[in-house]
Amino acid sequence: MTRRRRRLLLALAGIVVILFAGRWVALLLADRWWAARLTRSGAAFLTDWRVLRLTLDLTGVLVASAWFIGHLLLVYRAVGSVQVRRNVANLEFREALTPGVLLSVVVGTGALLGLLVGTGASEWWEAVVLGWQGVTYGVTDPLLQNDIGLYVAGLPLWRATHGFFFFLVLLALGIVFGLYLLVGAIRWLDGRPAINSHARIHLGWLLTALALALGWGYVLEPFELVAGLSGPVDAASWRATQLVAPLLTGVALATAGLSAAWALRPRHALVAGGWIVLASASIVGHWMVPPAMGGTGEPAAGTPLAERIGRSAYRLETLEETELGPSDRPGPPRVPSLWNAAMVAQLVAGDSIDVLSIEPSILIVRDRPRPVWLAVRVLPGGHTSVSAVADDRVSPSGEALFYHPRDSTPRTGAVPLLELSENAFRPKAPAYRISAEGPGVQIEGWLGRIVLAWALQAGDLLGSLPRGSRVDWALSPEQRLGTLAPFAEWGTPVPRIIEGDVVWLADGYLAAAAFPLAPRVSWRGREIGSLQAAFLGVVDATTGVTRIFLRPGADPLAEAWAGVSGGVVEPVSALPTAVLASTPYPVELFRLQARQIEQGAWKPGALGGRPAIDVSAPPRESIGWSADTSGPLFLASYERASERRVTAILLGRREEGQDALTLLRMDSTEALPSRSAVESRWSRFASFDALSDSIREDGGSLEQGPVRLGLGPSGVIGYKVYYAQRGPGRLAVAWVSIATAGERMGAGRNLAEAWNNLLGASVPTMPGSAQSTRLEEARRWLERADSALRKADWSDFARAWEGLRRSLGLLPDTTGS
C-alpha cells in the first residue's frame, strides 16, 4: 500500500470517527438542554445515561476487537506466506503479500469483527445499573434461599456477561479452526486427521475456554430454573437440576483440564473422550433425567411463602375475595355507563378531525364528581379540543349530553369544554416545534443551532429565525416521559382535567424477565416473570411540564430505579392530591392480573369477552363507575361454559389513593347468565325487532355496544346499549337490555324503562306508539303514587313521583333514578 493511499484511508477513518463522535456529543448536549428546562436532576441523569451507554459500547468493541485481533495474530504467526492472484496483460500470476500488508489485513479484520460483535453492548445498560445498584426485597425463595433481588437485579447481568463470553469463544473457535484448515495446519494424512503443534496449542486453549463457558452456564442453571427462565418449575425439573447441574459442572471442569493438557501434550484420544463424555452427559442430564425423576407437574415448593412470592410478581398479594349472595334490595346500576369509546368517537369525529384519545374520567362540576368520556381531538388549524360527554345520562330522546364551558348542566350539542392552542402537548404531535415564545430550548448562536439541528435532524434550525426563537421536541406525552425516564415502559397516556387544566397521566411499568416461582406471561411481545405499575407520569398539556412520581405501594425495584434517577422520580409524598385522586387503575396490569387469576389457584372459570379465534388474547375489560363516582372501574368476568353463567367478577379500582383489586364470586343460585346466553335471550324481544325495523325504515341503522357489567344494590348487573345512527355524529340511545341474577331480564328504550320491564311494572315502548305508551306508563305511576299516598309510604311515593316525571319526559335518564 502506498503512503498516499494509507493517508487517504486514515483520513476517511478520521472523518467517520468525527461524525459518530459529533453525533453523540450533539445528542448529549441536546438532552442536557432539554432536560434542564424540566428539572436539573434530569439533565444530570440523562448525561450519566448516555455516558454509560457509550462506555458499554466502547468496552464491548475494545474487548471483542482485542480478542479477535489476538487470535488472528496467533494464526498469522503460523502462516508462512499468503498469495493472491493478479492479472496483467492476459497473464495470470500469483503474488505473495508482504508481512506488513498481511498484518494490516489481520488487524483490520479483527477490528471489524470486534465492531460487529461488541456494538450493542449498550443494550445491557439496565442489567448493569441494577446489578451494580442491587435490589433487596427482604424475602428469600424457598428453593435456593436467595433474596428475590438476586434474581431480578443480579441474574440478568450474570447471564449477559456469560452470553457475551460464550459467543466470543464460540465464534473465535469457528474462525480459527476454519483458517487453520484453510492454510493446511489441519489436514488429512493417510485417512487420518493431522494437526501441527501451533494449531493444536491454539485450539486447545480455545477448547479450554469453551469448556469453562459451558461450566459457567451449568452453574447458572439452578438460578435460571428458579427464576422461571428455563420453563415451569415443577418437582421433576428441580430434582433433576439439583442432581445434574453439579455433575455437569464437574464434567465441564474436567473437560477444560483435558483440553488444557491437550494444548500442552498431543493426547488426542484423551481430549476427544472428554468432549464426548461432556456432550453425552449434557444430553442425558437435560433430556432423559427429568422425566425419570417423577413429580412432573407438581409444585417444586408448595409452601405458603412460595405462593406469596408468586402472587407478588403481579401485585396479587392484596387481592380480596368476596362472596355475593342473594339480595332483597333490587336496583339498577347506581352509576351506569351508557356510552363506550367507539360510540363517543362517532359523536365527536368529523371531516379533517383527528381523534387523539377517548377515555372515561371524572369531571368536577360545582364540587360534584360527574362521570364523563373525555374526547381529545385535533381541529383543523392544529388546535386541540377537549369534549366531555356525560356517561350516566342522556336526553329524553336518547341523545348524548355534553358539558359546556361555565355550565353545570350537560346539554345536547357537541360543544368543546376546553380548547388548547396549536402548541399543546399531545399524542401524535410533530417531531419538534420552533416558536417565538413558550417552552423549549432557546436557540443562541450558530454553534447551538448546528448542535440542535444535528441532534434533531432539523434543517429548519439552520435557516432564518426570529431573534429569541425556541425549539422543543418530544412533544407527545409518551415521548416526553420515555426520554426523561427510559428505564420504564410507559402506557397509553390518558387525559384528565385537574383544576381547570388538561394534563396527561401515564403509568410507568417495570417488567422483570426473571422472578422466582412466578408464572411467565407474554407482554408487549416478550416473556416476563413480573410486572409492576411503578411510576405515574404527569405531563401538562399547555406548558409541557413533566413530572414523574412513585406510585403508592411501589416495590423495591421501583425504589431502586428512583434512587438511580437522582431525583427524576419524585417520592409519593410529592404527588399532588388532585392528581392522586384522578389516577386510574393501571389497565395493562389489570389485564395481566385477570389472566393470572384465570390460570391460578383461584379457578374462577374462563375469562369472558375473548375473541373466539384467539383464546389466549386478553379480553377487553368492561368500564364501570364506583357508587360514589370517585373514578372509573375496570371489570372482567369469568364464566363456566358448561353452566352458562358468570361465576366471578374481577374489579379493579382506586380506593383512598391506593390500587384495590377484588374478586367477587357469584352465588350459584343467583348468578348472572353468561354473555352469550343473555345476548341470545335479549335478541328475542319482539319490541327490539320492531325498533330495528323502524330505524332502518327511517334510513338509519342500529349500532350495538358491548355487554357491560355494572354494580347495583343487588349485586352485579349485565346490560347492553343499542344506538340509533341517523348520520355522521347523529347518535342516540335507542334501546337498553338488562339482566340480573336469577336470569331476570328486561328491555326498554332507556335504562329506567328496561328496569321497570325487568320488574314487570311496564312493557317496552313500541316504535310508532311512543305517546300512548308513555301516557299508559304515566297512569301506572300515578296510580302507584296515589296508593303510596293513601298508605303514607313516602319513600314509595317519591319513587313513583320521579317515575311519573320521567315518563312524561320532564327528567333526563339519570343514574340517580
Confidence of residue 809 (pLDDT cuts 50, 70, 90): low
Which of residues 421 and 641 earns the better pLDDT score?
421
Of the listed ranges 30-44, 64-78, 279-293, the one predicted with least confidence? 279-293
Of the listed ranges 340-349, 507-516, 521-530, 766-775, the one predicted with least confidence? 766-775
CA distance 813 to 817: 8
Confidence of residue 427 (pLDDT cuts 50, 70, 90): very high
**Is the per-residue pLDDT at 467 higher than 90?**
no
CA distance 591 to 219: 36
- Paired with 540 in beta bridges are 503
277-321 pLDDT, tens digit per residue, is 999 999 998 888 877 776 677 777 777 888 888 899 999 998 999
Report the pLDDT value the prediction gives residue 707, as an integer from 0 to 100. 87
Amino acid in the structure at residue 221: E
CA distance 291 to 289: 6
324-335 pLDDT, tens digit per residue, is 766 556 677 888
Report the pLDDT value the prediction gives residue 279, as an integer from 0 to 100. 94
Q: Of 484, 355, 338, which Cα lies nearest the Cα of 401?
A: 338
User: For the stretch 526-558, what's the b/e string if a residue is b when 16 or more beta carbons lie within 10 angstroms of its beta carbon?
Assistant: eebbbbbbbbbbbbbbbebbbbbbbbeebbbbb
Confidence of residue 43 (pLDDT cuts 50, 70, 90): very high
CA distance 407 to 211: 77
Report the pLDDT value the prediction gives residue 54, as an integer from 0 to 100. 94
What's the mean pLDDT in 230-240? 85
Read off the C-alpha cell for 354.
383527528
SS3 477: helix
Q: What is the largest CA-CA distance in the chain?
A: 124
**Is the per-residue pLDDT at 251 higher than 80?**
yes
CA distance 538 to 127: 27
Which of residues 227 and 78 earns the better pLDDT score?
227
Confidence of residue 83 (pLDDT cuts 50, 70, 90): very low
Which of residues 377 and 682 earns the better pLDDT score?
377
Read off the C-alpha cell for 674.
353468561
Crossing angle of the two packed helices 268-283 and 235-264, in degrees rounded to 10: 170
**Is the per-residue pLDDT at 93 higher than 50?**
no
Confidence of residue 613 (pLDDT cuts 50, 70, 90): very low
List the alpha helices (DSSP H) in 313-413.
Answer: 341-348
The pLDDT mean for the chain works out to: 85
**Is the per-residue pLDDT at 816 higher than 60?**
no
Percent of the residues in the chain that have a pLDDT greater than 90, as a whole number: 45
**Is the per-residue pLDDT at 583 higher than 50?**
yes
Read off the C-alpha cell for 342.
367507539
Percent of the residues in the chain that have a pLDDT greater than 70, as a whole number: 88
What's the mean pLDDT in 507-526? 92
Report the pLDDT value the prediction gives residue 479, as an integer from 0 to 100. 95
User: Which pTM does this prediction carry?
Assistant: 0.86
What's the mean pLDDT in 782-811? 75
Q: Of 794, 133, 34, 118, which Cα lies nearest the Cα of 473?
A: 34
Handedness of CA 19, 21, 26, 31 (dihedral sign): positive
What's the mean pLDDT in 671-688? 75
User: By the 8 A CB rule, do 378 and 356 touch?
Assistant: yes
Read off the C-alpha cell for 447.
454553534
Cα distances (angstroms) measured from residue 96 to each of 86, 90, 214, 787:
10, 19, 41, 117
User: By the 8 A CB rule, do 263 and 176 touch?
Assistant: no
CA distance 155 to 161: 10
Which of residues 149 and 328 earns the better pLDDT score?
149
What's the mean pLDDT in 8-25? 80
Report the pLDDT value the prediction gives residue 248, as an integer from 0 to 100. 95
CA distance 783 to 362: 38
User: By the 8 A CB rule, do 505 and 494 touch?
Assistant: yes
Amino acid in the structure at residue 254: A
Sheet strand arrangement including 432-435: 432-435, 470-473, 441-442
Report the pLDDT value the prediction gives residue 814, as an integer from 0 to 100. 45
What's the mean pLDDT in 591-611? 85
Which of residues 326 and 613 earns the better pLDDT score?
326
What's the mean pLDDT in 33-42? 88
CA distance 172 to 672: 65
Report the pLDDT value the prediction gives residue 515, as an integer from 0 to 100. 94
Confidence of residue 401 (pLDDT cuts 50, 70, 90): very high
Q: Could you tell me which residues come within 8 angstroms of residue 449 by beta carbon, excluding any fewer than 6 positions away?
A: 443, 461, 462
SS3 346: helix
Confidence of residue 110 (pLDDT cuts 50, 70, 90): very high
CA distance 651 to 491: 20
**Is the per-residue pLDDT at 81 higher than 90?**
no
What's the mean pLDDT in 639-663? 87
**Is the per-residue pLDDT at 798 higher than 60?**
yes
Cα distances (angstroms) measured from residue 312 to each of 329, 446, 488, 566, 679:
37, 54, 19, 27, 37
